[in-house]
Every structure is written in C-alpha cells, then in structure tokens.
Amino acid sequence: MVTAYQPRIIGFLCNWCSYAGADLAGTSRISYPGNIRIIRVPCSARVDPLFIVKAFQYGADGVLVAGCHPGDCHYSEGNYHTRRRLALLHSFLDFTGIEKERLRLEWVSASEGKRWSQVVTDFTAQVAALGPRAK
C-alpha cells in the first residue's frame, strides 16, 4: 500500500482566540487532519517572520498563523501588525522560491472550534496538493 503524502505543518496560534478555538474543537470532538503541530504564542503579532522562514528552512511544508479577528485583538491591534507583516512575507516567499500558498494567515475566534477544524482541513489539503517542497 502506498501511503499518501503527509505534509508537515506548523501552526502559530494566539493564546486568546485561535488557541482557545482549537481547544474548543477538541472539547467539541471536531476532528481534523493531524498534520499540524501547534505552537502557542501570546499574540499572532509575536510571530517573528524569522520563525516562519526558519520553519521552512528546517523542512516545514506549510505554516499557518492564526489570530483574533480584526478588531477583536486582546492587545487591541496586534493582528493588524501580523496582517501587514505577513503580506510582506508572502511576496518575499515567492522571491525565495517557496510557493506563497504554503503560508496562510487566518482569523479564528475562541468560539469558532468548527471553523478551526475547517481551516486546518482546508490548509492541509492545499499544502498536500502542492506536494513536497522542492529542494
């Protein structure tokens, strides 16, 4: 039997919304693909673009950054910084030859367990479709 390609995905989740949303997916037993490894950060704005680039350098097939919806940031405006930063990083990824579809920014609130599972399912499928990274 040939095992299907299983991408390795890293998720940076803000503590207040998305991490809690992922917790809620657990509490509600909403399953999703197990390719993602979650790193808890206080705010999505804590995510240094360096972390994402390093993750790709080590061998990650995809990186998901998730934070509170715009306007709902626990720290008022952290997610706006994230949004701008990742927009820049997206164009940089293209330049380095990493498909920009491998990096995604999503807003998932603490009450959106179901949405979290959909985001992961969708992103995992997207990264899997891209196949392994070109060396």
Partner 1 sequence: MPRVGVFVCHCGTNIAGTVDVPAVTEWAKTLPGVVATSDNKYSCSEPGQASIRKVIEENRLNRVVVAACSPRMHEATFRRAMVQAGLNPYFLEIANIREHCSWVHGNDKAMATEKAKDIIRMAVAKVTNNEALFPKTIGITKRALVIGGGITGIQAALDIANAGHEVVLVEREPSIGGHMAQLDKTFPTLDCSACILSPKMVDIGQHPKIKLMNYSQVQKVSGFVGNFEVEILQKAKRVDYSKCTGCGTCWQKCPQKVDSEFDVGTGKRTVIHIPFPQAIPAKPVIDWAQCRYCKFLDWKAAGEQGKKPPECRVCEKVCPVQAIDFNQQDQVVTEKFGAIVVATGYKTFDPAVYEEYGGGRLPDVITSLQLERQMNAAGPTGGEIKRPSDGEHPRTIVLVSCVGSRDAQKGRPYCSKICCMYNAKHAIMLKEHDPGVQVYVFYIDVRTGGKDFEEFYLRAIDEAGAVYLRGRVSKIYQDGKKLVVLGEDSLMGQPVEIAADLVVLAAGMEPNIGAAEIAQTLHISYDTYGFMVEAHPKLRPVETNTDGILVAGACVGPRDIPESVAQGSAAAAKAVGILSQDSLTVDPMIAQVDPAKCIGCLLCVAVCPFKAPYSETTRDKRTIAVINEALCKGCGICVAHCRPKAINLHGFTNQQLLAEVQALW
Instruction: Give me the residues that bind partner 1 (CB under 8 A), please.
Output: 8, 10, 15-17, 19-20, 22-23, 25-27, 29-32, 34, 37-43, 45-51, 54-55, 58-60, 68, 71-78, 81, 85, 109-112, 117
Minimal distance in Å, beta carbon 64 to partner 1?
A: 13
Instruction: Report, in Å, the least distance between residue 55 CB and partner 1.
Output: 5
Number of residues assigned to the chain:
135
Shortest spacing between CB 47 and partner 1, in angstroms = 6
Q: What's the N-to-C CA distance of the chain in angstroms?
A: 26
Torsions phi, psi of 38, nearest 5? -100, 135
Distance CA 19, CA 113 (A): 10
